[in-house]
Amino acid sequence: MNPNSSEENQSFSLTKFESMLKTNNIFFFDSIEFENIIHHYLEIGKIPLAKKAIKLGLDQHPSSINLKLFYVEILIFENKLSQAEKLLNNLFRLEPNNEELFIQKANIYSKRDNHVEAIRIFGEALKLSEESSELHSLIGMEYLFLDNYTKAKFHFMKCIELDLEDYSSLYNIIYCFDFLGENKEAIQYLTWYLDQNPYCEVAWHQLGKLYVDNSELEKALTAYEFAIISDDTFIGAYLEKAKVLEKLGRFIESIEQYEISIAIEGGSAITFLKIGCCYDKLNKNDKALKYFFKSVKEDPALDKAWIEISKFYFKKKDNLKALFYVNKAINIDEQNPQFWLYYSRINKSLNYYNEAKKGLKRAIEFGDNRAETFIEIADILIHLKQFESAKFNLIKALKIYPENEEIEFRICGVFFKLNNSQKGFLHLLKALHKNHENIFILEELFPEIYNDKKIINFINNYKKSSK
């Protein structure tokens, strides 16, 4: 028998069916042909054609349970659940032990978010069938809806026991391990799995990622190498291996892996960016810049590449070009606090203090609440002699970091500048109490205050009393 005969028959049936639709002629198909035609259209997502095939099939074979089940599946897909349920109840009277009827009934409960009942009914279907990978997978998905990752994992593991190459279930198992924080157990499971299926590139790839999460980079590297041995066109393994080599400081080898991935599948903006970063760490500046520009040519919306170009020029002290390119990154993602910090740094180097202040304010606005950022903006405000603004900024910072002596020394100087000696001395006392060795902050930022006789006496008296 010709092994391709069934495929040829299906192809003939599809051609014949589509010809019938175009010509409005009515051809006869047996129920199996209709089932194959409907299954084909459902698989490729052509629902209207599947519905036409179901209607014509039921016209020619009105008693076919399987064709009616396809109709139930369509009704569930279209959220016509009451109609689907009514038809299912009629079918149960005809075939009360039909496993597929239980599956569709459970699907209705799942659609109604009654996942507990769906699991119970899938369990009934499991009793009627031999061990079924499909059923265990469906039950596993219901447990995922309930956030019960332990039971979900159990059923996906059952799928693997029945079909070692069920990679969808393998991914779901790793997802469950990850959600449960069971990194060690996940490694053990994948090690067991690879003993059964040693040339599974998916498993080696997942094992490598787990080793990376565990900071076991050499083991991760070995896992990715086995993934490549299992499938030398597996792009993901080359890219992950390249990232690990980069972390290990083996930049030339990392570039080689990225270049192999480009040879197999063509370059991407991210890959070009990664190569550029490796050349940058090797101090091969011209090559780094070349790849950064290749990255933004491939994807002009890749903000990280524009930032790298900006950093390149900033290191070369070409600050105007650095500013031009950081603005390109900000135009893409204006809510990234890191971009605004970098924008501030460049502007400060150009003595554009108002723009530097703006950058720091935007960084804080978009979530950078580090003490260092508040201190940096305060120093700019002090430099600009905007002491009232500096005061409000430092008060806000002090509420977040009440024990920070660097903030205290600055706010004490600001109060003295605002002629509020009472509060100035109060904050000076607090600052000295927190860390008197940081008195140099007052000296550097407010030398005229530091050299005032009253301040000198206050500091000396504090030192004597604290001995």
What pLDDT sits at residue 4?
Answer: 42
At residue 282, what is the residue type?
Answer: L
Lowest mean pLDDT among 216-230, 311-325, 393-407, 451-465: 451-465
**Could you tell me the CATH number of the domain that includes residue 435?**
1.25.40.10
* Whole-number percent of the chain with pLDDT over 70: 96
Torsion of CA 387, 393, 399, 405, to 10 degrees: -60
Q: 123-139 pLDDT, tens per residue? A: 988 888 777 888 999 99
What pLDDT sits at residue 3?
Answer: 40
Alpha-carbon span 135 to 332, nearest angstrom: 46
* Whole-number percent of the chain with pLDDT over 90: 71
- Decide which of 236 and 37 is more confident: 236
In a domain, 291, yes or no: no
In a domain, 249, yes or no: no
Centre a 10 Å sphere on the Cβ of residue 410 and count the other Cβ atoms it contains: 29
Mean pLDDT of 201-225: 96
Q: Is residue 2 over pLDDT 50?
A: no
Assess contact for 107 and 77: CB atoms under 8 A: no
What pLDDT sits at residue 10?
Answer: 62
Most confident of the ranges 41-50, 216-225, 457-466:
216-225
Mean pLDDT of 183-206: 96
Query: What is residue 69's three-state secondary structure?
Result: helix
Q: 408-449 pLDDT, tens per residue? A: 999 999 999 999 999 999 999 999 999 989 999 999 999 999
Mean pLDDT of 339-350: 96
Q: Is residue 289 over pLDDT 80?
A: yes
Q: 3-48 pLDDT, tens per residue? A: 444 555 566 677 777 777 777 767 777 778 777 887 787 777 777 8
| Domain containing residue 436 | 369-467
Q: Which two tokens stand for residue 389?
A: 């603004």
Q: Is residue 358 over pLDDT 80?
A: yes
Q: Is residue 194 over pLDDT 90?
A: yes
Alpha-carbon span 398 to 409, nearest angstrom: 11
Q: Which two tokens stand for residue 36?
A: 């194959």
Q: Is residue 111 over pLDDT 80?
A: yes
Q: Which two tokens stand for residue 89?
A: 């109840």
Total number of domains constituting the chain: 1
Alpha-carbon span 402 to 232, nearest angstrom: 57
Q: Is residue 244 over pLDDT 50?
A: yes
Mean pLDDT of 167-191: 95
At residue 63, what is the residue type?
Answer: S
> What is the pTM assigned to this prediction?
0.77
In a domain, 455, yes or no: yes
What pLDDT sits at residue 296?
Answer: 97
In a domain, 434, yes or no: yes
What pLDDT sits at residue 1?
Answer: 34
Query: What is residue 309's three-state secondary structure?
Result: helix
Q: Which two tokens stand for residue 323?
A: 């500013």
Q: 166-177 pLDDT, tens per residue? A: 999 999 999 999
What pLDDT sits at residue 9?
Answer: 58
157 to 163, 173, 199, 387, 421: CA distances (angstroms) = 10, 7, 19, 65, 72
In a domain, 376, yes or no: yes
Alpha-carbon span 151 to 107, nearest angstrom: 19
What pLDDT sits at residue 6?
Answer: 53
Q: 62-109 pLDDT, tens per residue? A: 777 777 777 777 877 877 888 788 878 778 777 788 888 888 888 888
Mean pLDDT of 230-248: 96
Q: Is residue 467 over pLDDT 50?
A: yes
In a domain, 389, yes or no: yes
In a domain, 295, yes or no: no
In a domain, 409, yes or no: yes
What pLDDT sits at residue 446?
Answer: 96
Q: Is residue 359 over pLDDT 80?
A: yes
Average pLDDT of the chain, as a whole number: 90
What pLDDT sits at residue 455?
Answer: 93
